[in-house]
Structure 1
């Protein structure tokens, strides 16, 4: 019986289109080119960081972020805000809570992401990031922290994400119920792989309410 639902962030709750578009502009390449390279990285099981190296072999991402912050101190840059939420996020999270389930957000995110998410006043019980925990998915320790935060045994927790490697497989190995959300480049690609059979695959967060909350 699922008593808590835990959500990844990027391409699960947050549409990253605007982030990658701003990055493409910053790197001086067409947005379609950069997003195509990102899709290629997803298909080849390469880190998204490889996309930066492919379009700008000399790029130093931390140094570029520092220059970007100096050039545009008040802009969103590599960050997100409430305008980047997928439309189904608020109603689906609210419906899950109304059904009596705990709702938690926990994903691989930089330190500023928690404040950005908290500013959205989402209907959730807790928000945590990998940066503050000092451990990232797919490490087992991350999912141990998720269970600790939820205050429940892993079998009572559903973990929802858009990737097999970071979300579904490690959550399943941790004893949780994995749900693969089929959106974003990784989500569409990974839903076609045999390993997706270890998860429940959904096309919208609205599908979670009948699936996890029950009658």
Structure 2
């Protein structure tokens, strides 16, 4: 069966932050300054709560002065405003839609970034964010959720039933994780060292397979 839906990762795949300020890293550093010991689960928590910076600080038990919090929030806003769409992402999405292939974003995100992703990529069919689902890639639940919303059922990876593909910059989250549940996962290597170097190249391969199936 042809690929009828494509799932993209967000940052470093379809989008990039042109002026990073690392506000959440700043927040965690504030905790260290005030005696809070970092936890291996901090980043996971930040990406699985539907909350802003102030609420995240409260949940993690990080003490931040009002003036310092205002500075970090300002940095967060500047970072969000610097987000740009990769040109090949726009072209790839348009090509897929032209041939009837549905598209989605599946990303590990802190909540403040979600609206920006939707604004910058308004033509996608589905948006699946970790902070909304309470689970992060590569947990199988997040892939199953986006497939459910797309109305597709991932098949056996190397069999004829597969009808959804995913691509992103993380081999673990965007290639291996999807493949574990039957999604055709691909690694995007923008450095040019991998098999998939840009999203238009990838979309053309998907469309070629889709067209052959219809033919």
Structure 1 match to 2:22: 23
1:160 aligns with 2:154: no
Q: Is the CA contact 1:23–1:78 (under 8 Å) kept in the aligned structure 2?
A: no
Superposition pairs for residues 47-126 of structure 1, below 5 Å?
62=57, 63=62, 69-71=69-71, 73-77=73-77, 79-81=79-81, 83-126=83-126
Per-residue deviation, 1:75? 4.6
1:179 aligns with 2:186: yes
**Counterparts of 1:181 and 1:116, CA distance in 2:** 22
Q: Is the CA contact 2:125–2:150 (under 8 Å) kept in the aligned structure 1?
A: no
Which one has the bigger helix percentage? 1
Q: Is the CA contact 2:188–2:198 (under 8 Å) kept in the aligned structure 1?
A: yes
Q: Which runs of 5+ in 2 are unaligned?
A: 27-39, 44-55, 155-161
Structure 2 match to 1:133: 133
Per-residue deviation, 1:74? 4.5
Q: Is the CA contact 1:23–1:77 (under 8 Å) kept in the aligned structure 2?
A: no
**Counterparts of 1:3 and 1:211, CA distance in 2:** 12
Give the structure-1-normalised TM-score: 0.67
The DSSP-based 3-state class of the residue aligned with 1:179 is strand
Give the structure-2-normalised TM-score: 0.67
**Counterparts of 1:79 and 1:16, CA distance in 2:** 7
Aligned residues between the structures:
170
1:205 aligns with 2:206: no
Q: Is the CA contact 1:97–1:123 (under 8 Å) kept in the aligned structure 2?
A: no
Per-residue deviation, 1:68? 5.6
